[in-house]
Chain A
Amino acid sequence: MSTRSNSSDSSAAQRRRALTISIGVALGVGAIITAFPFIWMISTSFKPQRESTDFPPTILPGQPTFEWYVRLFTELDFGRYLANTVVVVLIGFVGLLLMAMAGYAFAKFDFRGRRWMFFLVLATMMIPIQVTMIPTYLILNGMKLTNTLVGIALPTLVSGFSIFLFRQFMSTIPTEMLEAARLDGAGEFRTFWQIVLPMSGPILAVQVVLTFISGWNSFLWPLIIASDQKLYTLSVGLALLNQQLAVNPGLQMAAASVMVVPILIVFIVFQRYVIQGFALSGLK
């Protein structure tokens, strides 16, 4: 940088600074508006029943109460739903590995059928979910997977979108590195495990977050596949609270908060890597 300093430079720098600050203020306001429904949800979850249905509404609880959280975990079995949800998310990570393998093959191998297989991958992104519900259920039923957590996780285990992202990212891994590993006598799976995966950290972070979100919020399949309430996930538990007449916003909001906060933590932890992951996937 030049050390030369004159009046026009410093006034330009000041203007830049002022602009940055006003953008910061605008973004801050935008962030609060964007997150407002979320803030309101948390606030209502601490309101007693009467206050939550009062009009005009209060922004902050007048007499905060933990009663709804206590009820969720004592009377309503939310502890079990939470555990199931965690298992579904963990199974989702197996799917993550399968998608990484597929993305790797599409990126780094030339094989017969690659083109149309990749076309199928892209085509699955365009299929409306309502179409697949009944056939998918019949398949799972035929495989005797109904009423299992595996059956709940299976239909959404792999997604075309994620395979596509893996392929994009892995295309950027230098082929020479793979050749070197092969010359050293590493098997194909060892190459994948010890070279490709470690180099794919950022895209894995992206996928961890995406997988976490979809597993955590899964609603349809847990509902349909579980013929035992012991297998319900948080989303289904939350839907159970939605009675014919909504009478207890505090309880519902507490359940909704239990759902959102963990994802937020996962995102905050991974966000730096997530952005890197998309950046290096060639999305520029």
Chain B
Amino acid sequence: MRNRLTPYLFVSPAMLLLVAFGIFPILVAAVISTTNMNISAFANWNNVKFIGIDNYTKLFADPAFWQALGNTGLFAVFGVPAIVVLSLGVALLLNRSQGVFFRSLRAFYFIPAITAIVAISLVWGYLYNTQFGLLNYLLSLVGIEQVQWLSDPVLAKFSVALVAVWRGTGLNIIIFLAALQGVPKEYLEAASLDGAGEWKKTFSIVIPLLRFAIFFVSVTTTISWLQFFDEPFVLTDGGPLGATTSASIFLYKEGFRLNQFGYASAGSIVLFAIIAIITLVQLRLRRADDEY
């Protein structure tokens, strides 16, 4: 009897918190998404009406929502490979030597990951500023005209994504460095004896052995790009003209600026469904990959 209960005792405190602050809210959102709830609901609960799937039909007809989804997709398509390749590359190079110099460099690459978003908005805002920013000043020294980092609709996408890549690599570099410790030295020595060069060893031995780490980092990075919010929120507020409005920014604005809670909830359910489907597909692909 005692044994049967034990695992539940271990699991339940954390599960209760997860259910209360993770699962329950999404159920509430699902219910609210079928209503026309807005801020007047708080004055009088009778102001809320059940409207079925109206929010969803309206959502799929809203060009702003499609723009936000399109932006999110674009961010993910370019952002995920960028972060994975960059973190893997830096980790491979950092792993080349276990000397003091190489070890002390790790902290530098980790700094962006630990910087609070509020601080990031300040520093990058100053760096990117068109007239008075440091980047344009440096470019002006080599005779390049002012670049509108955050004001040009195409470039602004790149600029906010660059900050996210900058911020997203730190933790992943650590994960890859950790995984690299698991690569048996004997394999590499054997390959060297067979006359394999550095490139060949890296690509045919090391990277295949890092498969699970690469997979893990890809999945978590994909999720975080699909929820992309912080950088455009503090740097551009989704502008110029919606060019950096991600799905999360769209939801936030509908919910907290326009107080359309029903509509925003419908959007969150759609976003949640998209993230879940993409993650499940990734997991399925991985399983299929393992079978071969």
Interface residues, chain A, CB within 8 Å of chain B? 19-20, 23-24, 26-28, 30-32, 34-35, 37-38, 40-41, 44, 53, 55-57, 95, 98-99, 101-102, 104-106, 109-111, 114, 117, 120-121, 123-136, 139, 154-158, 160-161, 163, 188, 192, 213, 216-217, 219, 234-235, 238-239, 242, 246, 249, 252-253, 256, 259-260, 263-264, 267-268, 271, 274-279, 281-284
In contact, A131 and B25 (Cβ under 8 angstroms): yes
A114-B7, A139-B20 are contacts. A32–B108 as well, Cβ < 8 Å? yes
Bound-state Cα–Cα, A238 to B121, Å: 11
- Considering the chains assembled together, what is the distance between the CA atoms of A28 and B94 in angstroms? 10
Q: Which of B90, B116, B175, B247: most chain A Cβ within 10 A?
A: B116
Our pick among A41, A253, A268 for the contact of B107 (Cβ within 8 Å) is A268
Q: How far is the CA of A173 from the CA of B14 in the complex (A)?
A: 21
Stretch of B97-105, B151-159, B237-245, B284-292 with 4 or more beta carbons under 8 angstroms from chain A: B97-105
Q: Which residue of A lies closest to B252 (CB)?
A: A130
Chain A residues, Cβ within 8 Å of B121:
242
Q: Are A139 and B10 in contact (CB under 8 A)?
A: no
Which residues of B sit under 8 angstroms from A271, Cβ to Cβ?
106-107, 110, 174
- Taking chain A's interface residues, is the majority helix, strand, or loop, or is none over half, making it mixed? helix
Interface size on B, residues (CB 8 A): 90
15 A-B contact pairs sorted by A residue (CB < 8 Å)? A35-B108, A37-B115, A37-B120, A95-B17, A127-B22, A127-B26, A128-B227, A132-B22, A136-B20, A256-B123, A259-B116, A260-B111, A267-B107, A276-B178, A282-B212
Q: Are A278 and B115 in contact (CB under 8 A)?
A: no
Q: With A and B bound together, what is the CA distance between A31 and B90 in angstroms? A: 10
Within 8 A of A (CB), among B1-18: 2, 4, 6-11, 13-15, 17-18
CB pair A278 B178 closer than 8 Å: yes
User: Which residues does chain B contribute within 8 Å of A160, judged by CB atoms?
Assistant: 18, 22
Tell me the complex Cα distance, A117–B108, Å: 38
Which of these, B120, B178, B261, B268, contacts A277 with CB under 8 Å? B178
